[in-house]
Structure 1
């Protein structure tokens, strides 16, 4: 029994594909989001997405606070420039361990408890960094924090995608990126607020403030349910039905969604799930899975290779190179960057399910390319005058704005929605590894590369990579707006193009897809 789409209407299908009922549903109603009546399900999904995203504040806060704290750490602990690069970049590199482990962990423990584990590990690392008396102890805390972040960045989008209706999945799955940006802004504000304290105290307070979100994360565990798709894989059908009843408007929709999930789960159930088979399919993928991996992992790598972490982590260095001298003035300029980044991620949330993923990616990558070229020009040719400083600040703010309105949130949305259920956790973890490695390489090499080819030259390289990302979006990223997770699998069966041109899509399509794999 399935749903067959005809324009914006649906009719129920029997096992032979014949229509039996003339009841119709609007697209919004089929997804559980209606314009009138009971809105409790909508609010519940919204609350779950917020609580699942709280870990992302920790990542954002670390990125923002380290941009300023590193100035005082360098002065207090007398570390070298190489140690500074390692301290900043190692978190991204080591987080790949958490991301790799996170896929398997979330399949075993569940999505919800993996979110809790991420918070515990990160907070342990942050606490060690706060009291560290030396660079060695600081690095131990940094390594622990990195593992926690690795867990967090891959699991939150997966969880949100698995509980969200298709019509709002893009916006809801973007919530982690909102909280990353909020964390960055809070980190910048913390830097500015505590910069006047003694050097041996201020950076410890800056880092220690990041422990506070653990209270909210602990509360979230009593609010958010487990992913219904994970429960189906474990054979816990009644529990999955109970969760779906909180996420949908009617009993009929619950049963239809549950049936679709059960079919799409295929051999990814608890009785015959084989982790080795999953990795074999990822390492030696079929053409559809290969296209999924290229799109999902590629967009995550491009997100970081365009230099966003260099812009955020080293924004004081960039502004100092542009001509701003005082530490307080440098940190104040970074607050403007954080504010811009946060505002534009909010804009993306309103547009992603209206405009679509791909148009926003075009706007984002083209805008970033232009802003990075302008930043390179201002740093290379305009000197340290007011005009050069103004153009540099405007270019940095423009770069983070275009990043936040497109590739920043959409990379996580795509990675969480394009993979089939049996591969979703492991393949998303692989994409997160690509993101974290790219971020670490950029963060750990920025100062060295800048000494070799100047800061302006480094941002020119980032501009070229951003230009390549435009080509990648055009050739490898499909549009997934408004489609269920199970329907999205069908996109990649036809070389990445949606087969909806007059053709009706029903649950049987998904069932046949599973049977052929």
Structure 2
């Protein structure tokens, strides 16, 4: 099961890597001759727009007969094509097309990956395996910072191309594994149940560690919730009469009542809060090198490299902590989430105060740097064990089977729409990385406070859910 979870989480590694690489946009601007507005479209509009569009397309088609794994492989293939195009083209239009293709492929994986893990992992280990996407996301970001440091002395017009193109190699191996090494029998048990492949589904659940009555419970609930006549095909491994896809998944969203809308609102709120904390971590990534340049007399590239290595170490440590904390999620996702949001909110509030004092000359550069590093560690640790992994697994656990993919797709679309709005607006309001930093942290702190209240009122417990329940 761990091998399948790592495979399904690979798009998150690409997501974290891309976010970290695109922060060093100065080389791209100089090499391609982009204006500030064009760079905002390149780094924010195409990336977040591609993520959202990829999630929407996969959400509408994830119930097709080809299976969940097919969309993981196809998304990886699009990423490979886009990465190669970005790495070798000198035309900014072609580079933008490549960036859009890469983002579209990652967006498909960001939707299908959590569903694949949630539908495959047994309820007793879903918390642990559900944290793997967050772990790989942090590992991807850390590897981007390390690679940037390794390419410090390379010409800038080569460094950014290598950074954006080198991921095509491991992604090509991922595509080969997902499309040609895995078979339909390795797809999620829920998908196999939907299309009558009962023998393969039950065998897959046994291989993934489902024990006791869970296979039978899933099967009974699928009969009740999805309305498929499983009783008629108990002894058949495949039934040709089943449709090639489950029709009307988008139309069924209109028929869901207030409980489902509540779950969609809760999932969207958690994902937006997660995105807000990610935005502020990126703000800090730009602010720390500024402190090093101002107080240490370092060059821009060297300061950025040192800050990147420092952030890589912090992310790797918090990644290991999140893997350890994942086993706690069986004690209650909601409780862990509330603690995580509280810690992240306190860290963001403290960062706002520190940067406000620095902007008004009340702290010297060394004190500001030390406090920012300490607060960054607290922020990363708070996100790693709760607000990072739990929003990705909450939606697949509470959404009914027939509308699971489109519901999560709409929630992810809202998340990336907010990210695109923020990424394209802030550079216009604050042209340099030191302007308005404390305001950004204060706004992010307010978002975490709102998400804390939403979590208290709307988020419900999902411990040991078997993924087929109707909303209460």
- Compute the TM-score of the two structures, normalised by the length of structure 2: 0.86
Q: Which moved more, 1:121-130 or 1:378-387?
A: 378-387
Q: Which residue of 1 aligns with 2:391?
A: 411
Does structure 1 retain, via aligned residues, the 8 Å contact 2:346–2:445?
Answer: yes
1:364 corresponds to which of 320, 327, 340? 340
Q: Which moved more, 1:155-164 or 1:350-359?
A: 350-359
SS at match of 1:213: helix
Q: Which residue of 2 aligns with 1:148?
A: 105
Q: Which moved more, 1:353-362 or 1:466-475?
A: 353-362
1:219 corresponds to which of 177, 197, 221? 177
User: CA-to-partner distance for each residue in 1:124-169, whole Å, 9 max, x for gaps?
Assistant: 1111111121322221111111111110101001011101111111
SS at match of 1:480: coil
SS at match of 1:336: helix
Q: Which moved more, 1:93-102 or 1:440-449?
A: 440-449
For the residues of structure 1 that align with 2:10 and 2:467, how far apart are their CA atoms? 24
1:240-251 matches, within 5 Å, as 240-248=201-209
Question: Which 4+ residue blocks in structure 1 deviate beyond 3 angstroms?
Answer: 248-264, 267-276, 320-325
Does structure 2 retain, via aligned residues, the 8 Å contact 1:336–1:397?
Answer: no
1:329 corresponds to which of 278, 300, 303? 303
1:457 corresponds to which of 431, 439, 443? 439
SS at match of 1:195: coil
Q: Which residue of 1 aligns with 2:411?
A: 431
1:319 corresponds to which of 274, 283, 288? 288
Q: Which residue of 1 aligns with 2:195?
A: 234
Does structure 1 retain, via aligned residues, the 8 Å contact 2:202–2:215?
Answer: yes
Gaps of 5+ in 2: 231-241
Shift of 1:315: 4.2
User: CA-to-partner distance for each residue in 1:158-215, whole Å, 9 max, x for gaps?
Assistant: 0111011111112212211211111111111111111210122111111122112224
User: CA-to-partner distance for each residue in 1:309-348, whole Å, 9 max, x for gaps?
Assistant: 3523x54422244453532122221232233234323323
Q: Which residue of 1 aligns with 2:258?
A: 287
Is 1:78 matched up with 2:52?
no
For the residues of structure 2 that align with 1:376 and 1:81, how far apart are their CA atoms? 27
Shift of 1:259: 3.6
For the residues of structure 2 that align with 1:404 and 1:341, how far apart are their CA atoms? 9
User: CA-to-partner distance for each residue in 1:246-290, whole Å, 9 max, x for gaps?
Assistant: 2346697644543443434326995597643x3234245312212
Q: Which residue of 2 aligns with 1:510?
A: none
Flag the 1:316–1:436 CA change in 2: closer, same or farther, 3 A: same
SS at match of 2:187: coil
Is 1:350 matched up with 2:311?
no
For the residues of structure 2 that align with 1:409 and 1:250, how far apart are their CA atoms? 25
- Compute the TM-score of the two structures, normalised by the length of structure 1: 0.79
Does structure 2 retain, via aligned residues, the 8 Å contact 1:315–1:334?
Answer: no
Q: How many residues end up aligned between the 2 structures?
A: 442
For the residues of structure 1 that align with 2:277 and 2:384, how far apart are their CA atoms? 13
1:31-50 matches, within 5 Å, as 45-50=1-6
Does structure 2 retain, via aligned residues, the 8 Å contact 1:54–1:213?
Answer: no
Q: Which residue of 1 aligns with 2:456?
A: 474
Does structure 2 retain, via aligned residues, the 8 Å contact 1:96–1:436?
Answer: yes
SS at match of 2:167: helix
SS at match of 1:67: coil
User: CA-to-partner distance for each residue in 1:414-454, whole Å, 9 max, x for gaps?
Assistant: 01211011111111111121222222222222322334971
Q: Which residue of 1 aligns with 2:16?
A: 60
Does structure 2 retain, via aligned residues, the 8 Å contact 1:321–1:379?
Answer: no
User: CA-to-partner distance for each residue in 1:203-259, whole Å, 9 max, x for gaps?
Assistant: 111112211222441224424711111111122223323323423466976445434
Flag the 1:336–1:275 CA change in 2: closer, same or farther, 3 A: farther
Shift of 1:292: 1.7
Does structure 1 retain, via aligned residues, the 8 Å contact 2:214–2:466?
Answer: no
Q: Which residue of 2 aligns with 1:157?
A: 114
Flag the 1:449–1:470 CA change in 2: closer, same or farther, 3 A: farther
Does structure 1 retain, via aligned residues, the 8 Å contact 2:124–2:330?
Answer: no
For the residues of structure 2 that align with 1:417 and 1:338, how far apart are their CA atoms? 31
Flag the 1:249–1:297 CA change in 2: closer, same or farther, 3 A: closer
